[in-house]
Structure 1
Amino acid sequence: MESNYDDNLKTWSGGERQSLFPADLSIGEIIFQEMERHPKHIAQISLTDDSVLTREELLLNAKRVASYMRNLGLGQNDIVGVMGRHTNHLAAVAYACFFNGTPFHALHNAYEPSTIETLFGLTKPRLIFCDGDDFEKVRAATESLQVKIITMRNHPTGSIRIQDVLTTPVDRNFKPFRLKNGTDQTLAILSSSGTTGVPKAVTISNSHQIIVSFLPMNNSIVHYTSSTLDWFSGLTMTIIAGVFSTTSIIADSDFDPGLLCNVIKKYKISLVLLSSSYIAMFANCPEFKSADLSSLKYLFYGGSNCSLEVQNQVRSRLSHDCLHFCYSLTELNSVGCVNFNFDRKPNSVGRPVKGTKLKIIDKQGESQGPNSAGEICFYSGQKWSGYFKNPEESRIIQDSQNWFHSGDLGYMDEDGYLFIIDRLKDMLKFQNIIYYPSEIEKVIAEIPNVVEACVFGIWDAENGDEAAASVVRKPGTQLEAQDVVDYVRKRIAAKYKQLNGGALIVDQISGCGSRKINRAAAKAYYLKHMNNN
């Protein structure tokens, strides 16, 4: 990974990116051609029911779903809703949308009805694919849309079963549709993490930058990710599987770190992509210490802060440096930075990928040189269609020069490696002294019985933001809230960085479904609990 520094502009670049495919092809056309080339290769294996689908079988399912959509008259100006776990048919639904040039809007299954109503009310899908478990929730939230709802598993009365859709005849000359507006056309709509309120609908284009080109991908790769289609990482892995004929290991249940430890050996998994929260669960599960991880070539993680202790814990079990911190913005339509040198630069999120530029700006918007902290900004040169029907917010995150403002505080070191300090908007003040919650979270992460922690500010009229924490402890262990408060007091001398607002032991951190920390939701839960007690 290059990191070319322009001393005049004070920008870093990953170098020029060249597409692997003809520039005019859509993502759907590329996947269709590649799936036809390797029909007998295994496309996916389900850990839920041990079922196996070849690429030929998955392609046929995708063509049937696409044909069903065409029969309904869905075109490239329509939108399909998706809200599902990794079932056998989720990839087929995604590929069907790609083939037709019909964008899908993906939501996480943990979203509350009010959030579903707001987001689908914005994009107004004519057809929604979801799990039967969520059918009633989705139906109630979309009652005003008069939308058809197809369930992909656990089918309740009143839903259309995916199995019925898969009986749709396919034309002998079935081909993907050409895009009316070229590769700038919207491929999918994802949801932002929602850390500042209701998630925004982020448009993702057919730009080839979404196709990972910094790895030697081929059909020998067996991969696993817990991320579903509502996450950029989940969308990317679905595209990788289609483009490079890799084999996906899927499960339609919640993330199980012990199960992952076992199946890495069983299926010789070579690539794993997890959120930072799941990396912590992975490192702290009982099976991790004895797991055979020798098949791993790449272990990617990201999405939020990850303690260096957890990173070192995982690295200690790997035979070589294959632990890679990733960093990006959903809006960027590609990976931003990857660290391929953990041993040399631990805790860095790495260097910019090809086709991407990066700069650090101060409060006045001036670019900063190496080792100066400021807001991290990205430039990809792609056309971005913005947040769906939200031009005001689009202009806030992307400026007139097409630089994306991340809202994250960080710096580039002298070797061109990016380090994240914290979210700018997470800045807290105690008696007018600025501090960041991640500083305290890293200390709490040192406690042996802690799996995950979220720190936020509780307002006090005299002190300002008093730090408080919601903490998840390891199952079967003893840890009380006061233990956490006492540990932080012993480790941090500064009064303003102590847990002056207290601590709460919880089963899980309140969040937005994407597994990114949602401080606002965690704080709301904390205050509600404290007020009720």
Structure 2
Amino acid sequence: MCDLNGFPITTYDSELKIWSGGSEQSYFNDDLTVGQIIFKQLQREPQRIFQISHTENTRLTRWQMLQNAAKVSCYLRANNFITTTIETTDIVGIMARNSTHLAAIAYGCLFNGTPFHAVNPNVETKIVSDLFAITKPRIICCDAKDYRKVNEIAKSLDAQVIIIDGQVEGITNILDLLQVKLSESYEPTKFKRGIDRTMAILCSSGTTGTPKAVTISNSRKLFQAYSYLNADDVQYAPSTLDWLTGLLSLVTAGVYGTVRLISKETFSTAHFLDMCDHHGITWTVLANSHVAMLANAPDLQARQLLSLRHLLFAGGHCLVGTLEKMQSFLQAKGILRNAYGFTELGTVASSNYKVDSKPTSVGRLMANIRMRIVDDEGRNLGPKETGELFCHNGQTWQGYYGNPKATAEIQDPAGWFHTGDVGYFDDDNYLYIVERKKDMLKYLGMMYYPHEVEEVIAQMRNVAEVCVFGIWNETEGDAAAAAIVAKPGSQLLASQVQEFVRNNIPVQYKQLNGGIQIVQQLAKSANGKVNRQAVKAAYLNESQHCNLTSKQ
């Protein structure tokens, strides 16, 4: 539910101390799965281009995508894939990049009511093995370049391997499945209350430990906030299917009939601008670090982004200076929007349409989302009071697959997600995220958050990216340390950063007592989010190397 300007509406109940997004009903029957909805959409204007692969130079019409996905579904049926309850339903594993036939595998699973479990192809083999050991897929789909990594895991699970991109001699290929003749009477599988069935299994961010297998239902909340999309839009997201943003772009393209633009390459500013130039991207969802890369690109010109009407970013905050710079390249306000959500919620919780006037906010709540701010004693807090965010989306969640203990830790019996994020609402009902609760540090007996120090350092004109973390010792606690990426062509010294922080932060416990390193890049997770723990590990490794060198 939005106001006349198209901005989300959020109201506050001062008695219950609960914030609520607007109320919105779905147009779709609760018995329909997302697969059934997409099946119908793909039948409309069948000769329209539905998907373009920039790296492979392929194009598929809606009719071709429909046929390919239906053939994948038929293959699952021929192999007796069971689709009864979540406990007994067979699962397809996916570990692949965004190549031409990945969508056919995913849509084919949706048509059949078969959940797919997507794992990022860039994570360590042990994590892939641990995750698939939870869901035990009967089929694992991967790219040829990852076959060796997947093959041993598949053997341990007695699972079949199907190659999506490339060729491996003697191994079933997606092209083999697409040779099958499709019956004219084919229809997707039907269910009672298909809305509650598990559609996909993704991975949690892994910022607080080993990624978990997160179930995502057929809820309409994944796509209903994007009903402004239509057949004239060209959508692009660099995320693979294991991230919520990757699933979001896959589903919204199918539901609203947009052109789905894909690429096997990881995000880079040059590659993104090349795709904008060739295909006229109108809608994209990026990581916050991608926005920083774009804004600080030395040769970026406004004309290169003229096609953009929606530039969403998520996964963390962007510095105010970066947002202002990014906005200067866009043709209108409201194009650049920050979003907040988490995989377990299965949707975006809030969106900020006023980045220009409230740049540090993650916006107002989306439709049918409720939020509480809770202190350490479990009491609800009011506006401008900081505490942990509890979030409710009003739908059934099947939890972490095979992990009821972890499920109970994040969602209480009343359905509230305990996010682990610390934040507050202002008097205009705009939400602000202070920091991950577990990122809170203590030095000389005083608590602080890395984000507080990062915001100060980011004000330096030669700073492109910054990550602050704690270096612990038992007598003082977590001393703040910083890894910093300088803007291209600039000269930045650690001593300059040290002095700037000293002049702008009056308290001793927030000083960079742990040290400073100027680095070429910050370690990031597969979806582009800065991985604070990995940055810290690299910092410590370099510090140890420097110490050894100085002693020799």
* TM-score normalised by length of structure 2: 0.92
Q: Specify the SS of the correspondent of 1:335.
A: strand
Counterpart of 1:297 in structure 2 is 309
Counterpart of 2:366 in structure 1 is 353
Counterpart of 1:107 in structure 2 is 119
Counterpart of 1:335 in structure 2 is 348
Give distance in 2, aligned partners of 1:175 and 1:132.
31
Give distance in 1, aligned partners of 2:16 and 2:29.
32
- State how 1:43-58 maps to structure 2 within 5 Å: 43-58=50-65
Counterpart of 1:60 in structure 2 is 67
8 Å CA contact retained: 2:226, 2:252:
no
CA 1:491–1:201 in 2, change beyond 3 Å: closer, same or farther?
same
Task: Tell which deviates more after alignment, 479-488 or 189-198.
Answer: 479-488
Q: Specify the SS of the correspondent of 1:410.
A: strand
Alignment RMSD (CA, Å): 2.0
Residue 31 (structure 1) shift: 0.3
Give distance in 2, aligned partners of 1:440 and 1:327.
21
Residues 228-249 of structure 1, C-alpha deviations (whole Å, 9 max, x = no match): 2111111011100000000112
| Corresponding letter in the other structure for 2:475 | E
- State how 1:220-239 maps to structure 2 within 5 Å: 220-239=232-251
Task: Tell which deviates more after alignment, 24-33 or 432-441.
Answer: 432-441
* Residue-pair matches, total: 533
Identity percentage of aligned residues:
43
Does the alignment pair 1:259 with 2:271?
yes
Counterpart of 2:78 in structure 1 is 71
Unaligned stretches of 5+ in structure 1? none
8 Å CA contact retained: 2:275, 2:281:
yes
Task: Tell which deviates more after alignment, 185-194 or 365-374.
Answer: 365-374
| Corresponding letter in the other structure for 1:23 | D
Residue 268 (structure 1) shift: 2.4
Q: Specify the SS of the correspondent of 1:470.
A: strand
Give distance in 2, aligned partners of 1:443 and 1:18.
43
Counterpart of 1:529 in structure 2 is 542
Q: Specify the SS of the correspondent of 2:304.
A: coil
Give distance in 2, aligned partners of 1:84 and 1:490.
48
Of 89, 92, 95, the residue aligned with 1:83 is 95
Counterpart of 2:11 in structure 1 is 4
Residues 323-359 of structure 1, C-alpha deviations (whole Å, 9 max, x = no match): 1110112111221001112233222111111111111
Does the alignment pair 1:176 with 2:188?
yes
Unaligned stretches of 5+ in structure 2? 1-7, 84-88, 547-552
| Corresponding letter in the other structure for 1:514 | N
Q: Specify the SS of the correspondent of 2:347.
A: coil
CA 1:506–1:58 in 2, change beyond 3 Å: closer, same or farther?
farther
Give distance in 2, aligned partners of 1:108 and 1:49.
20
Of 14, 24, 27, the residue aligned with 2:31 is 24
CA 1:50–1:445 in 2, change beyond 3 Å: closer, same or farther?
farther
Residue 18 (structure 1) shift: 0.8
Q: Specify the SS of the correspondent of 1:160.
A: coil
8 Å CA contact retained: 1:410, 1:418:
yes
Task: Tell which deviates more after alignment, 147-156 or 428-437.
Answer: 147-156
Counterpart of 2:128 in structure 1 is 116
Q: Specify the SS of the correspondent of 2:371.
A: strand
Give distance in 2, aligned partners of 1:133 and 1:487.
47
CA 1:84–1:482 in 2, change beyond 3 Å: closer, same or farther?
farther
8 Å CA contact retained: 2:91, 2:114:
yes
Counterpart of 1:40 in structure 2 is 47
Give distance in 2, aligned partners of 1:179 and 1:31.
15
Give distance in 2, aligned partners of 1:478 and 1:137.
42
Counterpart of 1:494 in structure 2 is 507
Give distance in 2, aligned partners of 1:480 and 1:19.
55
Give distance in 2, aligned partners of 1:180 and 1:474.
55
Residues 167-192 of structure 1, C-alpha deviations (whole Å, 9 max, x = no match): 23322211110136632111001100
CA 1:472–1:180 in 2, change beyond 3 Å: closer, same or farther?
farther
Does the alignment pair 1:469 with 2:482?
yes
Q: Specify the SS of the correspondent of 2:209.
A: coil
Does the alignment pair 1:94 with 2:114?
no
Q: Specify the SS of the correspondent of 2:43.
A: helix
Q: Specify the SS of the correspondent of 1:383.
A: coil
Residue 507 (structure 1) shift: 4.5
Residues 345-403 of structure 1, C-alpha deviations (whole Å, 9 max, x = no match): 22211111111111111111111111111111111110011111111111111112111
Q: Specify the SS of the correspondent of 1:504.
A: strand
Give distance in 2, aligned partners of 1:499 and 1:328.
31
Give distance in 2, aligned partners of 1:229 and 1:265.
25
Q: Specify the SS of the correspondent of 1:468.
A: strand
| Corresponding letter in the other structure for 1:320 | A
Q: Specify the SS of the correspondent of 1:74.
A: coil
Give distance in 1, aligned partners of 2:108 and 2:508.
56
Residue 111 (structure 1) shift: 0.6
8 Å CA contact retained: 1:261, 1:287:
no
Counterpart of 2:380 in structure 1 is 367
CA 1:156–1:427 in 2, change beyond 3 Å: closer, same or farther?
same
Residue 473 (structure 1) shift: 4.2
Of 157, 161, 174, the residue aligned with 1:162 is 174
8 Å CA contact retained: 1:65, 1:168:
no
Of 156, 159, 170, the residue aligned with 1:147 is 159
- State how 1:240-279 maps to structure 2 within 5 Å: 240-279=252-291
CA 1:131–1:480 in 2, change beyond 3 Å: closer, same or farther?
farther
Give distance in 1, aligned partners of 2:128 and 2:495.
37
Residue 142 (structure 1) shift: 4.0
8 Å CA contact retained: 1:257, 1:285:
yes
Give distance in 2, aligned partners of 1:152 and 1:482.
51
Counterpart of 2:339 in structure 1 is 326
- State how 1:507-522 maps to structure 2 within 5 Å: 507-522=520-535
